Chains A and B, each alone.
Chain A
Amino acid sequence: MDAFVHQFRVSLNLHFRNRMALIYSYLFPTIFLIAFWVLYRYDRVPLARHMGELLTVTALGGACFGLPTTMVSERERGVWRRYRLAPVRTGTLLASTVAARYVLLVLAGLLQVALAMGVGMPLPNHPLDLWIAFSFVAFALLGLGLVIATLADNVPAVQALGQCIFLPMLIIGGVAVQLSSLPEWAQHVSAFFPGRYAVEAMQSSVTGQGLRVMGFSLLALLLIGLAGFVAGIRNFRWDAEQRFAQRNGKGWVAVALAAWAAVGLLAESRGRIGPIDIVPEYATPLSPPRTTAVAAAPSSSSSSSSSSSTTTTTIPPAAPATEPKTSAPATPSPAIKGERNTSTVPAKPSAEEAATPKPAPPAATPSTTGPPAPLPEPASWRAVTPAHIDEIMFERLPSDSGVVSPIARLDEPLDPDVEGDLEEVRSKLATWGPGQVADPVQRVRNVLYVAAVPDVFQIPLERYVAHVVFERLQGDVPKDDLIKLLYWVATHPNGGDDSAVDDLRSAGLKVNGPSDMDQTRERVMLYALKLLGRLVGKIPQ
């Protein structure tokens, strides 16, 4: 233990005395961050959607280059040979060296998160999960670094090998180029690289639901890391004279590669190839996934916060199905009922997520035997009851002062630049055609688009327009009906007709309909819930 602590401390001290190491460890990640920030500066939330990528690049650099470069250069100099004269075990020295590198990676990661927050990124949704995810990523990539140190006979070879792994991982491995931008063949290839799993796990912790839906990614990272460590330790070389080509035990490198292959094949067998949607945490206020849209609320009842709802029940999410767009309310059917989660996100959820059963928490409603029965699904908006409303966890909605579905405080002074635009919306909304349609569900949905679309575009009006929409809805629909209608729209975000978004200029907005309708529907859902919360007194005005 004494040896571990001393070597750990010396490794850290030496790193901080090495100017080049500091540049690689901290300046380069900062440059990456600036590059990402410049590249994605028009994002609604600066860098938030790219932290998984950024942190993975940092971990990759530190693990694929930093660790093996240090180890190989020390081996070339004869430092490790001198260590070998001492009665210290290989495992102790390797463990302390890797532990020190892990600390350096965490510091670099923290620096990036801090810098990103400095330019406007909010605190990650799940800081603890992010740390855990980062640790899994570090484990996998440091294992890879050990393998590189094993393979490379000298420092130039480390650079060459590192680049051979680093660049493909960046470009077609789902790290620097998002999976959704990659051709299908590259998505298949990426399933065999640890990079995409690193990005997914960390991104989910920053902007998604954390690690509870990232079991496969963590498993993949664990497998790859374990195999790397085993291969790295078994093939460890103390002496620069011990050339890799002349060594026994090269088969351990095959073990490391086999882990990559196994992970890729497993992903293929589970159909986990396309981009995994990082479902925002705020998409989980709807606890009982009983209908298409309610099922869209992922695993909410499995989280601790679900206990705030006294009647929570859960139906395990299943594979997605495409809901036909119709102006009529979506009727729950077995197929639709099975739709998983993605009211906010359209694409394919992972098979892992789809297959993960979510335990039903105990219900507070009287029940003496067996699990509580789920509430009967409302057959139409008119069948919505207060009990349905009670199931909603309003406290899980994004903050009104945040960047997603913001709503200005009532006492907040109005920005003069916005005042005129807002008045125009108020006046035009009163006579806006889509706000007059006969179907009350569609009418409410259409009016909610007037709040949702400015939020998607992040135009200055976004924080105020929800009040105008709320006024309009309250003036048009009786309160009891409005409660039910908002509930219905929120729980059926994929239902109805979207054509009103192309007519928003008639409602006084200066924007065209967004191309990303999934995001728009998500915001409709969020505003519906926020206004519903105000109506039923669960959210203060």
Chain B
Amino acid sequence: MSAKVIVRDLRKRYDGVEAARGVSFDIEDGEIFGLIGPNGAGKTTTLECVIGLREPDSGSIEVCGIDARRRPLDVKQRIGAALQTTSLQDKITPREALALFASFYREHAPASELLDRFGLSSKADAHFDTLSGGQRQRLALALAFVNRPELVFLDEPTSALDAQSRRDLHGEILRMKADGHTVLLTTHYIDEAEALCDRVAVIHQGTIVASGATRELMGRSSALPAVFVAATRPIEREVVASIAGADDLRCEGHTARFRTADTNRAIGQLVAALSARGIDITELHVQKASLEDIFLELTSPDAGVPGPQ
């Protein structure tokens, strides 16, 4: 695979803060790449530099083989982007907005096709100020696709959406990948990155602190697997605490959660202890270290800020 985006040593300082401190990463053709990090980590600054909304202080950005700092208009012809929030004029309709934005590009998709694809046909002629949050975000995505882009940038696209709209958008992002698009997604929802991204880069305080394939990154975690149990009656803390090697114990009513290095032995002891007390198990599962674990390890206040990787 060839790299669609190559960012090297990107630096951007504004308002006295160095928001990006030598950020470097590659995005391969056809993958969904996640840029994750806590609020204020530098995700949006990095993305805005790449898509031409901000002029970096230094560093190089190559998008689709084009030097984005020298030829930003050429890059913009080939990419699509949806920002955290997209606001248009109150009285513009989705159909007008799509036609307007289509006029900015050499190649563009028909408005009707995009309206269908993003479920906006019934709202094609409604004013923007009458659209729901989900509809506005779908319109933002439709605008990002108006030029049939090779590469799509999504900046926290689900941050203001309800659960259903979020799920719909996840389906749409996976479809983008299936259609052969390359996607850069920034998010602070770790589950979202875990579910959608082929590779992620964790950014913290303006620096990439870890990057790689999602599963590979999760494997790097030092966190132990977690055991979760739910029962018909309240679970007493002493019962779980008696299990050898149980750590990070949390009991809340009918549920309990703990970490352990030896899951087989711990589960056996747990089942035996609950049975002895006449408590039936209704749910039991084991969760390996998650992206959230590695994320928290890397970005917690006492984690320090490692150099770029």
B83 → A minimal CB distance (Å): 7
Question: Which residue of B53, B96, B103 is within 8 Å of A85 (Cβ)?
Answer: B53
B103 to A3, Cβ gap below 8 A?
yes
Bound-state Cα–Cα, A81 to B100, Å: 15
A87 touching B96 by the CB < 8 A rule? no
Do A5 and B103 touch across chains, with their CB atoms under 8 A apart? yes
A81-B53, A82-B143 known; A87+B87 contact, CB < 8 A = no
Q: Which of B97-121 contact A (CB under 8 A)?
A: 99-101, 103-105
Judge if B74 is at the interface, Cβ distance under 8 Å: yes
Interface residues of A in 204-256 (CB under 8 A from B): 238-239
Interface residues of A in 87-114 (CB under 8 A from B): 87-89
Report B-chain residues with C-beta under 8 Å of the C-beta of A5.
103
B91 and A17 contacting across the interface, CB-CB below 8 Å: yes
Task: List residues 2-23 of chain A with CB under 8 A from any CB of chain B.
Answer: 2-3, 5-7, 10, 13-14, 17-18
Binary contact track B60-76/A, C-beta < 8 Å → 1, others 0: 00000000000011101
A403 interfacial contact with B, CB 8 Å: no
| B74–A87 CB distance below 8 A | yes
Identity of the chain A residue whose Cβ is nearest the Cβ of B15 in the assembled complex: A246
Is B85 an interface residue, CB under 8 A from the partner?
yes
A82–B87 touching, CB < 8 Å: yes
Q: Is the CB of A18 within 8 A of B87?
A: no
Nearest residue (CB) in B for A77 is B87
Within the assembled complex, what's the spacing in Å between the Cα atoms of A83 and B53?
A: 10
Q: Given the complex, which residues of B lie within 8 Å of A10, measured CB to CB?
A: 89, 92, 96, 100
> Given the complex of chains A and B, what is the CA–CA distance between A2 and B102 in angstroms?
9
Does B240 interact with chain A (Cβ within 8 Å)? no
Instruction: Report the minimal beta-carbon distance from B251 to chain A, rounded to whole angstroms.
Output: 47
On chain B, the residues within 8 Å of A18 by CB distance are: 90-91
**B136 CB to nearest A CB, Å:** 12
A6 contacts B91, C-beta separation under 8 Å: no
Indicate if B10 sits at the interface (CB-CB under 8 A): no
Nearest-neighbour CB distance to chain B for A162, whole angstroms, equals 21
| In the complex, chain B residues whose CB is within 8 Å of the CB of A122 | none
B59 in contact (CB, < 8 A)? no
Interface pair A7/B100, CB less than 8 Å apart = yes
Q: Which residue of the partner chain B has the closest CB to A87?
A: B76
Bound Cα distance A84, B104 (Å): 10
Q: Is A387 an interface residue (CB 8 A)?
A: no
Asked if A78 and B86 make an inter-chain contact with CB atoms under 8 angstroms apart, the answer reads: yes
User: Closest CB-CB distance, B127 to chain A, in whole Å?
Assistant: 8
Q: Is the CB of A84 within 8 A of B53?
A: yes
Contact code string A48-87 (vs B, CB < 8 Å = 1, else 0):
0000000000000000000000000010011101111111
Q: How far is the CA of A77 from the CA of B103 in the complex (A)?
A: 22
When the two chains form the complex, which single residue of A6, A7, A79, A85 contacts B87, counting CB atoms closer than 8 Å? A79
B51 at the interface (CB under 8 A from A): yes
Asked, given contacts A3-B104, A5-B103, A10-B92, whether A84 binds B86 with beta carbons under 8 Å apart, the answer is no
Q: Are B143 and A74 in contact (CB under 8 A)?
A: no
* With A6-B99, A10-B96 as contacts: A86 and B104 at CB distance below 8 Å: yes
Which of A2, A14, A239 is close to B103, meaning CB atoms less than 8 Å apart? A2
Q: A14-B91, A77-B87 are in contact. Are A84 and B99 (CB under 8 A)?
A: no
Q: A74 vs B97: C-alpha distance in the bound complex, in angstroms? A: 14
A299 to B196: give the CA distance in the assembly, Å.
79
Min C-beta distance of B105 to chain A, whole Å:
7
Contact B83 A14 (CB under 8 A): no
CA of A513 to CA of B243, assembled, Å = 119
Q: Is the CB of B52 within 8 A of A14?
A: no
The answer, yes or no, to whether B77 is at the interface (CB within 8 Å) is yes
Q: Across the interface, which residues of A come within 8 angstroms of B91, CB to CB?
A: 13-14, 17-18
Please tell me if B141 contacts chain A, counting CB pairs below 8 Å. no
Q: Answer whether residue B88 sits at the interface, using C-beta atoms and an 8 A cutoff.
A: yes
Partner of A88, one of B74, B86, B90, B104: B104
Task: Give Cα A33–Cα B250 distance, bound, in whole angstroms.
Answer: 77
Q: Which residues of A contact B88 (CB under 8 A)?
A: 77, 79, 82
Nearest CB in chain A: distance from B208 CB, A:
24
Q: Does B81 contact A (CB under 8 A)?
A: yes
Q: Name the distance in Å between A525's Cβ and chain B's nearest Cβ.
A: 57
Write the nearest CB–CB distance from A79 to chain B, whole angstroms. Answer: 6
Q: Which of A79, A87, A88, A238 has the most CB of B within 10 A?
A: A87
Q: Considering only CB atoms, which chain A residue lies closest to B51 in the complex?
A: A85
A86 contacts B105, C-beta separation under 8 Å: yes
How many angstroms from the CA of A239 to the CA of B72 in the assembled complex? 17
Contact A6 B103 (CB under 8 A): yes
CA distance A5 to B102 in the complex (A): 12
Q: How many Å from the CB of B146 to the closest CB on chain A? A: 9
Q: Which one, A6, A78, A87, contacts B85 given CB within 8 A?
A: A78
Give the residue of A79, A81, A88 whose beta carbon is less than 8 angstroms from that of B89.
Answer: A79
A85's closest neighbor in chain B, by CB? B81
Nearest residue, chain B, Cβ from A78: B87
Contact A13 B52 (CB under 8 A): no
Q: Which residues of the other chain, B, contact A78 by a CB distance below 8 angstroms? A: 83, 85-87
Task: Specify which chain A residues have a CB less than 8 angstroms from the CB of B101 in the assembled complex.
Answer: 86
Residue of B nearest to A82 (CB): B86
User: In the assembly, what is the distance between CA of A77 and CA of B52, in Å?
Assistant: 19
Q: Are A86 and B89 in contact (CB under 8 A)?
A: no
- B195-247, CB < 8 A from A: none
**Neighbouring B residues of A3 by C-beta, 8 Å:** 103-104
By a CB distance below 8 angstroms, the chain B residues around A77 are 87-89
Instruction: Give Cα distance in the complex from A81 to B81, angstroms.
Output: 12
Q: How far is the CB of B157 from chain A (nearest CB, A)?
A: 14
CA distance A301 to B86 in the complex (A): 62
User: Which listed residue, B76, B83, B86, B99, touches A86 by the CB 8 Å rule?
Assistant: B76
Residues of B within 8 A of A74 (CB): 89
Bound CA–CA A17/B92 (angstroms) = 9
Contact A82 B83, beta carbon cutoff 8 Å: yes
Set of chain A residues within 8 Å of B53, measured between Cβ atoms: 81, 84-85, 238-239
Q: Are A6 and B100 in contact (CB under 8 A)?
A: yes
A360 to B90, CA, bound (A): 59
B92: A residues at CB distance < 8 A: 10, 14
Task: Tell me whether A81 and B83 are in contact (CB under 8 A).
Answer: yes
B91 to chain A: closest residue by CB: A17
What is the bound-complex CA distance between A18 and B77, given in angstroms? 32
Contacting pair B52 A85 (CB below 8 A):
yes
- Closest beta carbon of chain A to B14's beta carbon, Å: 9
Closest to B153 in A: A85
Closest to A4 in B: B103
Interface centre among B90, B103, B105 (most CB of A within 10 A): B103
- Nearest chain A CB to B216's CB is how many angstroms away? 32
7 A-B residue pairs with Cβ-Cβ distance under 8 Å, sorted by A, are A2-B103, A6-B100, A13-B96, A77-B88, A78-B83, A83-B104, A87-B74
Known pairs A10-B96, A79-B88 / 16 extra A-B pairs, C-beta < 8 Å: A2-B103, A6-B99, A6-B103, A14-B91, A14-B92, A17-B127, A74-B89, A78-B83, A81-B53, A81-B83, A82-B86, A82-B88, A85-B53, A86-B76, A86-B105, A87-B104
Closest 5 CB pairs of A and B: A87-B76, A6-B103, A86-B104, A17-B91, A88-B104
